[in-house]
Structure formats: structure tokens, C-alpha cells
A and B are shown apart, each in its own frame.
Chain A
Amino acid sequence: MGKRRIYLDNHATTRVRDEVLEAMLPYFTEKYGNASSSTHQFGWEARNAVEKAREYAAQFIKTAPDNIVFTSGATESNNLVIKGICDSTQEKIHIISSAIEHDCVLEALNSRAGVCEFTLLPVNKDGIIDIEALEKTIEKNTKLISIMFANNEIGSIQPIKEIGEICKERNIIFHTDAAQALGKVDIDVKEYGIDLLSASAHKFNGPKGVGFLYVNRENKLIQLTRQMSGGHQENGYRSGTLNVPGIVGLGEAARLINERFSDEFWHLFQLRNSLYDGLFNNNLAINLNGPSIKEDIANSEKNKEKTSAQEVSRMLKRLPHNLHFSLDKIQATDLFSRVKNIAMSSGSACSSDTAVKSHVLLALGLDDHKISSSVRIGVGHDNTKEDIEESIADIVSVLKILGVTL
């Protein structure tokens, strides 16, 4: 019998919470109506469930329900934004994004390279864009700024509020991919000046294959050309029969976090910090990538008594559940192959079919060795103190055997 499995790859995906699964099940078996069917009870109950979920999703980002468009996830939402805006005009528009966006944003931009211009902002060593550089990049025809809320590898959180303010001043649409941040950091779209926001349910303990796009309907500059023709669901933004069980699951996952944000936040933050301390205080030859965790801890300690978890989360420079480091002397697979029971990931796709080196780590200026030896850890809702203690003990012991010591 092998060692028990510990899942520390919660940036890739998360486990569906029991309450979420329970909420979804009736919509597969008893309440299986099409939410677009308006002539019978099956359709009405499906529609009601979808609208309830829409309310929960809206509360998640502090907006009105009719600003929520359900999609299959953040990838689709991001594609709809980039392609939808480029396709909505005959004029040559300019878009600003960053070098560390998710591939779906970068590829969507590339797909419209002939009809719109785009600039990818570099990031500093912590993976954060420079606001002054952003302002200097704005051109007369800049129509959209698309900057991710937080990075999926190194967890760096961008200065979203400042970007939102610039966009409002300059009449530019502001889109953010919040797939990794939602549920981990308190987000108020109005306060942050966000016009479009992409999310995926499976990143916050909901099901896979469902997500949403927030569309600020008050901003009349926003014109999204639909990317799928057909049934005119979701006010024409997204045709296709609604994934009712998935949407119900998304809503329930959002509701649970809305209700218990503080517990969830401190749980993740403390587990990640314990893991960080356990690994970095053991004389190992490892280097943190991305923003300082010590500074986030110090800031939270300073403000813990007088502010809420929501406010502390807004001060962070790094996602509360993220840890990313590179190993000296060995490669990530040398570690992974010796602790197979602990799920972690790396910035170099060692077993993929294609040649892949993380563009995010390249943008940080990391060399080949630092990329191939990089380890990404994301703690999650289901992790316990024991998981973290066991992981520290196993990882430290293996790294010491492999000679990854100072």
C-alpha cells in the first residue's frame, strides 16, 4: 500500500465540494429541463435554478445578476472578449495586454493580429506590470486593456484598481482574467473599474466546463461580436443550451465562498505560509519565484486586528494559496518522481507532446535551469494542517537526500 495522496495542485483545478455536487445532482436526474423551455415546469425549474446561480455569481463580484453571462469557462470568456471586441469594428484598434497572460488570451490576440494591433507589457522580476509603462503604451486607438488579475503560475497580483482608474480616465474598456483570483481575493468590479471579467468554476471548487463572463452593461463602449451563432441564449452573447447542472454547481460554489470568505481566506493563507516556512527554513537550496511572501505575511499581521479578511486579501501582492520556487542542482522531475503521492506541477512540461517552456517564467527572466527546476504548489480548501506537515517532511527529506542543500 502506498502513501496517502496529497493534492497540492489547486491552480490546475480543485475538487468539487460535496455541497456543490449535492446541489447539482437533481439537475441531471429529476430536474433535467432545458432552461430555454418556457412552456412547462421542467423548463421553469431549470430557468429558476440558473437565475439563482446568476445571483450568487453576481454577489461574488458585487454586481447585478444581469451582468453575468454563463460560458464554458475562462478560456471561452477570454476568447469572447478579445475576438468579440476585435470583430465588432472596422477600424484598426489597439489592445494592451501583458506577457504573462494565459495562453488563451495570447492566442486569441494572435488570431486577430491582422485586424487589431496589440502590445504585450513586460513584467518585473516579481511578475507585475509597471503602471507608468502601461500609461505610456496607451495610444489614441487603444480600445481594450486586458490584464490578468493574478498569475496562474507565480501568483502575482496586478495593480488592478490603478489599471481600472486609468481605463476610466481614458475611456478604455478594462478586461481582467480572474480565473485564479476569484474566491481567493475579494473582488468588487465597480470599485476596481473592471468592465469585463472572466472566471472558471473549477478553480473555486465548482465543476469543470462552466464559468462566466461579467459584462458591465453600463459601459456603452463594450460591443462584443458573438462567437457562436444559434439559440440567442445569454442575451445573445453566448448561444447554446445552458449547462444547467454546471451552472447550479458554479452558483453553489460561489455561494459557499461568499458566506465563508473569511474562513476560506485564512485557511489557505495559513496553510500556504506554513508550507513556505517549512520549506524555506530548512537550509534547502531553493529560490522563491514571484512576489515576496514575507511581505504579505508582515502586512497581514499589521492589519489583521483592524481589518477584515476581504481587506487583507486586497493588500496582497501574491495569491494566498500560491507557492512557486526553483531548485538548485536538480530538476523538478527529480523531486516529483520521488514524492509521487504529492501532486505538484512544474514550469516545464516534461511529458507533454510539444515543446513547452513556461512563457511566464521566461518573461521573469529565469534561465533554463530555473525553469526546468521550478515547482508550483497551490493549496486548496480540502488541504489540512496534516497534509502540509507531511508534505514538508517528505519534500525536505527528499531534497536533502538529493543534495539540494545550502
Chain B
Amino acid sequence: MSDINQKLLDTVRSVASGSDGNRRNIVYIEGGYYDTRFGPTDFSFNTLNSATQTANELIKKEYNITRVSLGVLINNIGISCGEDVCVIPTAREMKPDQNDATVPDSLEEILKNTKIQKSDQIVTNERTLRNRGIRTARIIADNEKEYAIEKDINNKGETLYNIMIDGKKIPLAIRKDEKWAARCPLIMGQHYSDLYIKFAKKYGKNVGQILIDMSDMYDRHKVNNGAKVAFLILKSIYGYDTSNLKIINFSFGDDELTQFEEDITIN
């Protein structure tokens, strides 16, 4: 077993054993991230392979995990943005098939060979998350007094909406007149909170949720900020307790998944 797979198992074991003894736990592992402009990379294949192998192991009784799900996130909006530089390709620059949110055969093949049922495989695309994120941003902006919002104006006259969480300024959205664009932390926050709500509805509010995401080191701050935003969305907008949620982000410095950092975000 590779080091990263062992690390994933150890992390789940430690997190699951640390939670309320009577609580059942479900685990979601995401890998295979790719940009539809360029298709899957070695990093996509290696993270999805690692996710599926770990999931296959976790369904064994000894781990005492109630349910294991797998996920793939597809970047079909073409953003690989900086903190204040979100250059989104115009419709003209995106070929029609680049909007496609179906998993390509090469990744589908990996998913087919797992022991995780198709119904427990979740494919999400960033275009949907972005649109949902914009709705969330508007809710937050409409109730500005309830949130620690900080606004900046950039050189194009656009308003940058940021939210202060634990003394950190996290970018949420950009607004020009009535046009909104969701920033990366909001897209990821929307993603994690959507997953939480989906599992809470399916398995109950009290089941422990361990969401594991595997990302590139370049995206480390974005996904970790996204995890913080998810807790905010769940608590402030949807009223969830979230003490049963742990979001674990692995960020990799190489395609072979040998160099990585682990961040755990909790309530």
C-alpha cells in the first residue's frame, strides 16, 4: 500500500475514533480533479486511484465506517484563479465540449473498478457550484450586518466581497452592478456544504461526516478557506450544528502524491 493510502486510512481511523463513541461515521473521499479545457492529468489519475483504493479498504468491517462515498470534482468553468485575479474564459474561448460535466472514460474506468456502488459515487461540476455560490453570496450580502463582511474596490471598479473568519480575510465574490462572480473559496465552501447537507438528509443529522479532498498544493489556501466558508454557510444560513463534520484537505506538491500537507477543519 502506498504511503498516501496508508496516511488516508490512518487519518480516518484517528478522526473516527476521536468522535463521539456512539456516533456512526460516513466517509467521502474526493480525487480525480481536472479542468475540462485540458482533460485529466497524472495528478487526476493518481488521486482518483488513491481515493478508490482507500475507499475499497474502508468498507471493510474493521474500520466501522457506516458508508463510504467517492467523488470527482470537475472544473468546467476554466478558472484556476489567484486570490484577486479571476480570469474566466469568455464563452468564445471555451469550446462547447469543455462545458461537459461527464466524467471521461479514462477516469470512469477507475470508478468502475471500485467496490463502491454507483449510487455512492458523486460527480460535481464547478459551474453548478459557482451558480449556487452566487446565490449564497447574495444572501450574505443582503444580510451584511450579520456577517463580518469587508468590501474592497478593484481597479476595474468592481466590489470584492470578503468575509472575516478567525481574523482571516477570505474572498467570497466579485460584484459589478448586478453581475456577480463567485470566488474559489466560496465555490469550495458551497461544494463542502452541499455534500454535508446531502449526507445529513440521507443518513441523518447526527451521523459523523468525514469529508476528504485531495488537491494540488497551489490550491491549498483556496480549499482550506473553502472549508471555513462551508462551516459558516452551514451554521449561519442553514442552521446546522456541524459538530459532527470534519473536512480534511490533503494538498500535494507532486503528481506522484509523495509530498503532501494535511489540514483538518472542524467546528
Task: Write the residues of chain A forming the contact surface with B, with a CB cutoff of 8 angstroms.
Answer: 1-2, 329-331, 333-334, 336-338, 340-341, 348-357, 362, 368-369, 371-373, 401-402
Contacts and interface: CB of A to CB of B under 8 A. Distances in A.
A1 B41 CA distance: 17
Interface in B212-262: 216-222, 253-256, 258
Q: Chain B's interface: helix, strand, loop or mixed, by majority?
A: loop
Q: Chain A's interface: helix, strand, loop or mixed, by majority?
A: loop
Given A331-B87, A402-B38, A340 B253 contact: yes
Contact of A334 (B35, B43, B258): B35
A354 B83 contact: yes
Interface string B79-102: 011111101000001000000000
B171 interface: yes
Contact of A351 (B85, B169, B171, B222): B222
A372 B81 contact: yes
A350 to B, nearest CB: 4
B38 A334 contact: yes
A201 B41 CA distance: 39
Interface residues of B, number: 31
B83 A350 contact: yes
Contact of A372 (B35, B82, B171, B216): B82
B201 interface: no
17 contacts: A2-B256, A331-B80, A333-B80, A334-B35, A340-B255, A350-B80, A350-B82, A350-B83, A351-B218, A351-B219, A351-B221, A353-B168, A354-B169, A355-B83, A368-B85, A372-B85, A373-B87
A350 B86 CA distance: 10
Interface of B: 35, 37-38, 41, 43, 80-85, 87, 93, 152, 155, 160, 168-169, 171, 216-222, 253-256, 258
B218 A349 contact: no
| Nearest 3 interchain pairs by C-beta | A355-B84, A348-B82, A372-B85
A369 B82 contact: no
Q: Which has the most chain A C-beta neighbours within 10 Å: B85, B93, B255?
A: B85
Contacts of B155: 362
A369 B43 contact: no
B190 to A, nearest CB: 20
Q: Which has the most chain A C-beta neighbours within 10 Å: B87, B169, B217?
A: B87
Nearest to B222: A351
A338 B216 CA distance: 10
Given A331-B80, A368-B87, A372-B81, A351 B35 contact: no
Contacts of B218: 333, 336-337, 350-351
Contacts of A352: 83, 221
B83 A349 contact: yes
A356 B84 CA distance: 7
A354 B160 CA distance: 13
Contacts of B217: 351
Given A351-B218, A368-B87, A401-B38, A1 B82 contact: no
A356 B255 contact: no
A330 B98 CA distance: 14
B84 A353 contact: no
Q: Which has the most chain B C-beta neighbours within 10 Å: A1, A341, A350, A362?
A: A350
A330 B169 CA distance: 27
Contacts of B255: 2, 340
A357 B84 CA distance: 7
Contacts of A348: 82-85
Nearest to B168: A353
A353 B38 contact: no
Contacts of A336: 218
Nearest to A401: B38
A331 B35 CA distance: 12
B41 A338 contact: yes
A331 B169 CA distance: 24
Nearest to A352: B83
Contact of B87 (A1, A2, A372): A372
A200 B256 CA distance: 36
A336 B84 CA distance: 18
Given A369-B87, A372-B87, A349 B82 contact: yes
Contacts of A338: 41
A261 to B, nearest CB: 36
A33 B79 CA distance: 55
B93 to A, nearest CB: 7
Given A350-B218, A368-B85, 12 more contacts: A2-B254, A331-B80, A334-B35, A336-B218, A338-B41, A340-B253, A341-B254, A350-B82, A351-B221, A357-B85, A371-B85, A402-B37
